[in-house]
């Protein structure tokens, strides 16, 4: 059974920082990519950051220069360092593991709430 457990969300003031973690267990296929997505009320889920198995990264335009994605393959964990947080960053953040199989399959974390407010 695959499990993705997220942690690190919470309430932070504008300009503050948070670090999200997502630890996966039970994945038996090679991981193509790990990523973070977020969804705010009334909005579509959007890409925040993504890192491929080769180490290439991709960031959503709204977070470039402020967020950094990293991973620890030995711990099957992906991180998201969020700096200079803005109220518009408020959303539920979901981690994602895309595995190499036929067909390609996505596993998702349970989501963690990030609220940026004064």
Q: At which residue do the structure tokens 């803005």 appear?
A: 86
- For the stretch 58-101, pLDDT in tens is 999 999 999 999 999 889 999 999 999 999 999 999 999 999 88
Burial 3-12 (b: 16+ CB within 10 A, else e): ebebebbeeb
- For the stretch 22-61, pLDDT in tens is 999 998 888 999 999 999 999 999 999 999 999 999 999 9
């Amino acid at each position: 059974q695959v499990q993705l457990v997220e942690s690190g969300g919470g309430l932070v003031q504008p300009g503050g920082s948070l670090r999200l973690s997502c630890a996966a267990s039970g994945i038996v296929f090679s991981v193509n990519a790990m990523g973070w997505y977020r969804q705010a009320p009334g909005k579509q889920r959007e890409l925040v950051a993504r890192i491929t198995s080769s180490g290439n990264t991709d960031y959503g335009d709204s977070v470039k220069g402020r967020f950094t994605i990293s991973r620890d393959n030995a711990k099957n964990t992906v991180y998201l360092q969020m700096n200079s947080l803005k109220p518009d960053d408020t959303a539920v953040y979901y981690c994602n593991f895309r595995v190499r199989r036929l067909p390609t399959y996505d596993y998702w974390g349970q989501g963690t709430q990030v609220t940026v407010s004064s």
